[in-house]
Amino acid sequence: MPFYRSHVLVCVDPECLAKGAHDVVDAFQDELVAQGLLDEIQVLETSRIGGCSNGPEMMVYPEGVHYVGMTADDVPFLVEEHFLKGRIVEKFREVAKVVVDEELGPLRPKEVRVVLRNCGEIDPMNIEDYLAVDGYQALGKVIGEMTPEQVIDEVTKSGLRGRGGAGFPAGRKWGLTRQVPGDIKYMVCNADEGDPGAFMNRRVLEGDPHSVIEGMIIGAYAVGASYGYIYCRAEYPLAVETLNVAIAQAREFGFLGNNILGTDFNFDLEVRVGAGAFVCGEETALMASIMGQRGEPRPRPPFPSVKGVWGKPSNNNNVETYANVPQIILKGANWYASMGTERSKGTKTFAVGGNVAKPGLIEVPMGITLREIIFDVAGGIKDGRQYKAVQTGGPMGGCLTAEHLDLPLDYEALAEAGSMMGSGGLVVMDETSCMVDIARFFMDFTQAESCGKCTPCRVGTRRILELLQKICDGKGERGDIEKLEDLCHEVAKNSLCGLGQGAPNPVLSTLKHFRHEYEAHVYEKRCPAKVCRPLIRFEIEQSCTGCMVCARNCPVEAISGERRQIHHIDVNKCIRCGICVQVCNFNAVSVSS
């Protein structure tokens, strides 16, 4: 492989193309030949550097300089200055600017921070910062004043439930693990956060690792465990590093190790790093992986509280569950239980993404409505479009529609509506999203992540995906929707673990609420949201001015027409990439289905 001293990445997104990105690339190649730099500098085409509005834009590595707004004529000067003389050309350099937003702030309206209270406030690498905000005081209270049973009672009374998504009461789980006889018990923390677009746990692990560690030590005291594992995914290298630093500091201060705080209570902890399998978020697969076995689930019972890591009773909770514990101990169960609904207490973190104005990480009290989360906390739908649906619970959750907007955030309420709380991914969709396509996207993910141990999940998810693909391709036949529905019920009923049992949820919930979209695809060969490419058509309307921009940018030369004459798209050549729509300055290209 040839070695280049510098790489130039030129953005070729439609917007930059329309502004002459290809001319810039060509000019660059010519100039490199002229200057004899062809062996030293490589020009590559890329997309989405982030400055298309000032395009054409390019990124120069290894310096990481972002240039915008140059034309082909500027290229010789740029090459001479930057690559021959080694001087950055300030004239074209993109300087970061902040869009001042009145409502944006660390605490958005209606947010309540319990788990995230220290994130972004303290130095995670310094235990003293955590100590200064009452860190490890809950541990002191537990060891000094409470019996293990009292701790379990307090957590039970607080109403804290498993924040990994299933919502099993944390206090009851601790009680179960405590009751099982045995000298050796383990604490396990599930930090294998894998839902697409969800990174609530990462923020806690990186920003406030000691709250998780303290929660685990308190839990260990309650259930009688002497050793613990934090199972963190390998894709979070910074979280692993932060945790290891925090564990070392906790040991140094005597919060971990033998004779904690001068008592005869011993507990220590280590981080185990996953190997990239989504299914390892399932507790039995996770424990197998901790023991060095293949990350595959096994049937329950026996539950981990009876037979977990190394065959011993093990208590498994999620990062967020543990991070809640110190606050519950310090401020009391009644304080925690005062937030939320009758069955779901406290707060929940969410990663809000999709078509909202202010995506990001939030923490809201239980009982808040989806409407408040989407329209108040996340700023509503982007670009003034119409809200269509929200996917909660990640790839195993379900879609909720406009009629569910006033549903309170509550484990049971979400389950009754056909979705689930999940670990906290929240994807908001507007009218430009095709629900069949969304279902296909999530099924594509779960199918790829199926571990293959049980047949319903291994074969079933594959067959569901094929059917969805067929429908999106416009090849759906009469009976396919019913077949899809049957298959989904079978896979959900017969799969071994939560992955297979939950995988059909996005399909079933979209079938329930948006069946008409499936029917339009199958019977009318139409995609109402105009997303599925084989089912849409591009046409140039009368408002075309004949500027030729679309014709120049069409990658397959499907557009013809004279200057100042209305252009025409050859349907047979068109690959429906949509570039013509994006580059047209007169909104003259229409999409129909």
Q: Decide: 235 and 192 in contact? Cβ < 8 Å.
A: no
Which part of the chain contacts other proteins (CB under 8 A), choosing from 10-18, 94-102, 398-406, 463-471? 94-102
Which of 343, 342, 360 has the alpha carbon at shortest distance from 351?
Answer: 360
Instruction: Indicate the residue among 131 and 184 with the shorter CB distance to other proteins.
Output: 131
Instruction: Indicate the residue among 101 and 466 with the shorter CB distance to other proteins.
Output: 101
Instruction: Indicate the residue among 362 and 370 with the shorter CB distance to other proteins.
Output: 362
Rounded-to-integer distance, Cα 423 and Cα 446, Å: 16
Instruction: Indicate the residue among 252 and 416 with the shorter CB distance to other proteins.
Output: 252
**Helix locations, 383-479, DSSP H:** 411-416, 435-449, 455-472
**Helix locations, 262-351, DSSP H:** 283-290, 319-331, 333-337
Q: Is residue 182 a contact residue for other proteins (CB under 8 A)?
A: no
Which of 533, 532, 536, 588 has the alpha carbon at shortest distance from 559?
Answer: 588
Q: Which of 35, 42, 46, 137 binds other proteins (CB under 8 A)?
A: 137
Rounded-to-integer distance, Cα 222 and Cα 305, Å: 13
How many residues are recorded in the chain?
A: 593
Rounded-to-integer distance, Cα 190 and Cα 279, Å: 12
Which part of the chain contacts other proteins (CB under 8 A), choosing from 40-48, 133-141, 460-468, 490-498? 133-141
In the window 141-170, what residues touch other proteins (CB under 8 A)?
Answer: 143-144
| 362: β partners | 350
> Least distance from C-beta 9 to other proteins, angstroms?
16
Coil/strand/helix, residue 353 = strand
Q: Which of 48, 53, 84, 101 binds other proteins (CB under 8 A)?
A: 101
Instruction: Indicate the residue among 143 and 166 with the shorter CB distance to other proteins.
Output: 143
Instruction: Indicate the residue among 359 and 498 with the shorter CB distance to other proteins.
Output: 359
> Least distance from C-beta 252 to other proteins, angstroms?
6
Instruction: Indicate the residue among 253 and 586 with the shorter CB distance to other proteins.
Output: 253
> Least distance from C-beta 429 to other proteins, angstroms?
20
Using alpha carbons only, give the angle 244, 250, 253 rounded to the nearest 5 degrees. Answer: 145
Amino acid identity, residue 57?
A: E
Q: Is residue 261 a contact residue for other proteins (CB under 8 A)?
A: yes
Instruction: Indicate the residue among 351 and 396 with the shorter CB distance to other proteins.
Output: 351
Instruction: Indicate the residue among 205 and 279 with the shorter CB distance to other proteins.
Output: 205
Joined together, the tokens standing for residue 429 give: 């969709």
Joined together, the tokens standing for residue 150 give: 């009292």
Q: Is residue 207 a contact residue for other proteins (CB under 8 A)?
A: yes
Q: Which of 24, 119, 188, 366 binds other proteins (CB under 8 A)?
A: 119
> Least distance from C-beta 431 to other proteins, angstroms?
24
26 burial via Cβ count (<10 Å: 0-12, 13-18, 19+)? middle
Q: Which of 131, 146, 547, 566 binds other proteins (CB under 8 A)?
A: 131
Q: Decide: 189 and 216 in contact? Cβ < 8 Å.
A: yes
- Please provide residue 132's backbone torsions phi and psi, each rounded to the nearest 5 degrees: -70, -25
DSSP 365-386: ETT-BHHIIIIIIS-SBGGG--
Q: Is residue 44 a contact residue for other proteins (CB under 8 A)?
A: no
Rounded-to-integer distance, Cα 432 and Cα 386, Å: 9
Joined together, the tokens standing for residue 120 give: 């972004």
> Least distance from C-beta 57 to other proteins, angstroms?
16
Q: Residue 354: which region, alpha, beta or left (left: phi > 0; alpha: psi -120 to 50)? A: left
Instruction: Indicate the residue among 378 and 544 with the shorter CB distance to other proteins.
Output: 378
Instruction: Indicate the residue among 253 and 375 with the shorter CB distance to other proteins.
Output: 253
Which part of the chain contacts other proteins (CB under 8 A), choosing from 38-46, 91-99, 158-166, 367-375? 91-99
Which of 396, 218, 231 has the alpha carbon at shortest distance from 319?
Answer: 231
Q: Which of 19, 163, 185, 203 binds other proteins (CB under 8 A)?
A: 203
In the window 446-475, what residues touch other proteins (CB under 8 A)?
Answer: none
In the window 338-377, what residues touch other proteins (CB under 8 A)?
Answer: 359-362
Question: x/- site string to other proteins, residues 45 to 64, per CB under 8 A?
Answer: -------------------x
Q: Which of 39, 149, 252, 406 binds other proteins (CB under 8 A)?
A: 252
448 burial via Cβ count (<10 Å: 0-12, 13-18, 19+)? exposed
Q: What's the DSSP call for residue 37?
A: -
Which part of the chain contacts other proteins (CB under 8 A), choosing from 120-128, 181-189, 514-522, 581-589? 120-128
Non-local (6+) Cβ contacts of 326 within 8 A are: 135, 137, 138, 139, 211, 214, 215, 218
Q: Is residue 556 a contact residue for other proteins (CB under 8 A)?
A: no
Q: Is residue 257 a contact residue for other proteins (CB under 8 A)?
A: yes
- Residue holding tokens 């099993």? 168
Q: Which of 39, 121, 557, 562 binds other proteins (CB under 8 A)?
A: 121
Q: Is residue 88 a contact residue for other proteins (CB under 8 A)?
A: no
Instruction: Indicate the residue among 276 and 452 with the shorter CB distance to other proteins.
Output: 276
Rounded-to-integer distance, Cα 212 and Cα 533, Å: 46
Number of residues counted as binding other proteins (CB under 8 A): 53
For binding to other proteins (CB under 8 A), which residues are involved?
64, 95-98, 100-102, 104-107, 116, 119-126, 128-129, 131-132, 134-137, 140, 143-144, 199, 202-203, 206-208, 236, 238-239, 252-255, 257, 259, 261-262, 359-362
